[in-house]
Structure 1
């Protein structure tokens, strides 16, 4: 049977061969074309430029071969910024560092072909503080800090390892340090928080923490995103004797002293005349626990939950009980709040003290039309003097900061106009909420600003995901003047990756002007950092 199959196969192959010879051959182009020839330009990216660092105007020599024949059309760049070519020889190129150059890779461009060269560090007055000891940072975001009465610093966030001190015993979401960032081992927080802490506040001899957590240290119940600590870092507890049937033994149960919380994440807490104001993206209910009241079935160790409807902002007494004189009607109904998510910032000094600015994704607040921003008086009502002649932003606001020295707000977000005037996702407001047109942001490319804060001298720190500003390479971090123009000597730093949530003016250990940076970021000036660092500005 097999011998009969072979002739058939051979015959079919012969027919196929004849058909193939008679058919005209077809050729198809490669789906992925060959890369363009780099023109014979050879440059060693691992070489060290001469000099290795320098400021604007410095003439730098870099070894390169094969460039001389393209000297009429070659373009040299320092981190994307075009430089003046001083001379080209068969073995090297001499270039002058341009005015707005920043640390990063060098490159030679001929037509549409790019040949990358070595990294070059552009000297400037902004750099990581060498006296800052926490060089490993934190393994997750750092949201806020508190300066204690004895001069130490408490940091809170989503981390469980600070400067590699949590490898054996995790530093769960809060640590205390010395001013240089050194971990303070004497502060005892046990197992810390079960979730992210966004804010810490000290009132009298207690700390108050807020965030997204349901437990602290060994207590994994009866906490709803807000609680109170003793100054030694331990949870402040209260011994109660739950209701018992007759003849049952009296057993003391220790519960959190602060008896109040909310149904959702709390981003901010503020001290206000001996009470606490609470703010959250979308809090809807205040939650209270009753440890003593028996229920109908007389069950043992039962905690009775009680909830009260509330919207976005609330005020509590220091024991956690709800203050219903704030943002409630005379009839006991809560104010309407916003029709979207809400963030906030509180004025702590000056003529605006006790007022709170709310912002976010809402277009109405307490039944009043707003442009994603409003200000609240100390009694919880809307401040009608804020932005009284404008309609606010045309889209979501991500962040609002205020400088009490300059009396200016900085606002960032997804908006493209404010009070009917075109702006570019970041703007400055006067203390009354009107637009300060003297500040004009330039064009951002490859991303947007997410955070801006004006310093006491009027300069403004801006961070985000952008790759350039006003046509100049700025990788996510820059410092501009009060008009929105880049300051050359303050913008030589390299790559920044991530986002800032807080910038604090401070000093280094040797007395230099410094900024403490906190947030969720992993690179500054092209060097690895982790969510917290300190930089100097001189």
Structure 2
């Protein structure tokens, strides 16, 4: 079942008064039963508006993105969460529901800002107060439990260039953190992404380095201690010389890193891990490969790389643009997937996952309390503008919805609670761009 969001204008106190003026004079003149019934019917239809609702502003451009609260949609914009004008390139959510955004906003001139759990600009976080650093390039963002913010990119800090810095919970540079610097490798184009703060405070990220003149590419996974010093690097998770198959080879970067409930890391991307694991691998907390997880599949025809991961009751949901997966050792027939697969604890494909009918590949997955899950997607080249899809616990699709214009660039899906999810990105509707919105999920 696929449902497009619909928009219904609200009737405020002024509209309610107009209805009374229209119908009650007739009642006084004729006092007919039919007129009375007509008036009562119309009043009951429009009487859901609160008396203190503001009158509609005729100058305000309508409609804003959102649906009609109170409909039977399983997903709907939360009318209590204000639509936040701006754009989110990178974002991360704190345990208290606040969201730190790296992008732009009409409410502040700063590139990095914070939004309260109820959608208001948080003035207690202000990066403009500290002039000792500035941003040259943005790559990713993560947050610690104590509210501190990790930024990855290219920065000038006290006249020195570095790649990862930390801000305090108020937005100023945290000088207790040793900035991570890879810019000394000037012959390489370097990209740091997939920032993740682990439960023990360590910081994990992927690092891609490429030298086009030497045809050298290195992809690695690194862990930093809480103070910024290097804790570990994942030995073997590197891409070496492109024409050398004796080491790790691949053309794409690592796409996603998550921490599992047992503390281990799950990693996906268009790379081989340790020359035998492709696309998905499990990493122990010390950075070594978990040999008990053996993903033996390869993507048929190179149609796409895994893009996102989520843990579902011990199993792993992997979202990507899959046309088919082919087992190199167990079968020579294709097992079809469109954009979603589920892996067992040993890395084998869980073929009890429901038949996938949604054509857009997910960029984010949220698992709910009952193990049902929600995926976030962007518009697809075939014209499918599905953004939000709901699945039951076995992966059978329940419903899908469009929540914005097809040219929107959605980035992240966060869980504030079991029935409230946050979407960030460039959420377009008409001439408006919104950085963040909240969804109610039934």
Residue 129 of structure 1 deviates from its aligned partner by 0.5
| 2:100 aligned residue (155, 160, 175) | 155
The aligned counterpart of 2:203 is 276
The aligned counterpart of 1:384 is 291
Please say which structure displays the higher CA radius of gyration. 1
Residues 211 and 314 of structure 1, relative CA distance in 2, 3 Å threshold: same
- Distance across 2 between alignment mates of 1:124 and 1:344: 32
| 2:80 aligned residue (122, 127, 131) | 131
- Distance across 2 between alignment mates of 1:435 and 1:182: 43
Residues 337 and 184 of structure 1, relative CA distance in 2, 3 Å threshold: farther
Residue 466 of structure 1 deviates from its aligned partner by 3.5
**Could you state the TM-score of these two structures normalised by the residue count of structure 1?**
0.55
Residues 315 and 137 of structure 1, relative CA distance in 2, 3 Å threshold: same
- Distance across 1 between alignment mates of 2:197 and 2:412: 19
Cα offsets for 1:289-347 (capped at 9, x unmatched): xxxxxxxxxxxxxxxxxxxx974112233443334x54459xxxxx9655333325444
Residue 271 of structure 1 deviates from its aligned partner by 3.7
Are 2:88 and 2:411, in contact at CA under 8 Å, matched by a contact in 1?
A: no
Are 2:93 and 2:100, in contact at CA under 8 Å, matched by a contact in 1?
A: yes
Residues 382 and 338 of structure 1, relative CA distance in 2, 3 Å threshold: farther
1:433 to 2:347 alignment: yes
Q: CA RMSD in A?
A: 3.9
- Distance across 2 between alignment mates of 1:52 and 1:130: 13
- Distance across 1 between alignment mates of 2:432 and 2:179: 42
Residues 491 and 270 of structure 1, relative CA distance in 2, 3 Å threshold: closer
Aligned pairs for 1:435-514 within 5 A: 435-443=349-357, 448-456=360-368, 457-462=370-375, 463-466=377-380, 475-488=386-399, 491=401, 497-507=407-417, 513-514=419-420
Residues 422 and 459 of structure 1, relative CA distance in 2, 3 Å threshold: same
Are 1:402 and 1:409, in contact at CA under 8 Å, matched by a contact in 2?
A: yes
| 1:182 aligned residue (108, 120, 124) | 120
Residues 230 and 478 of structure 1, relative CA distance in 2, 3 Å threshold: closer
Unaligned runs of 5+ in 1: 1-47, 54-119, 239-256, 286-308, 330-334
Are 1:359 and 1:374, in contact at CA under 8 Å, matched by a contact in 2?
A: yes
1:359 to 2:359 alignment: no
Aligned length: 345
Residue 211 of structure 1 deviates from its aligned partner by 2.6
Residue 165 of structure 1 deviates from its aligned partner by 0.5
- Distance across 2 between alignment mates of 1:418 and 1:220: 52
- Distance across 2 between alignment mates of 1:266 and 1:449: 23
Residues 265 and 437 of structure 1, relative CA distance in 2, 3 Å threshold: same
| 1:424 aligned residue (334, 338, 342) | 338
Residue 152 of structure 1 deviates from its aligned partner by 5.9
| 1:223 aligned residue (161, 167, 191) | 161
Greater relative contact order: 1 or 2 (C-alpha under 8 angstroms, separation 6 or more)?
2
Are 1:146 and 1:155, in contact at CA under 8 Å, matched by a contact in 2?
A: yes
- Distance across 2 between alignment mates of 1:519 and 1:418: 34
- Distance across 1 between alignment mates of 2:210 and 2:148: 24
Cα offsets for 1:134-159 (capped at 9, x unmatched): x1342342x321316xx3624133x1
- Distance across 1 between alignment mates of 2:404 and 2:227: 48
Specify the SS of the correspondent of 2:228. Answer: coil
- Distance across 1 between alignment mates of 2:150 and 2:142: 5
Residue 380 of structure 1 deviates from its aligned partner by 1.8
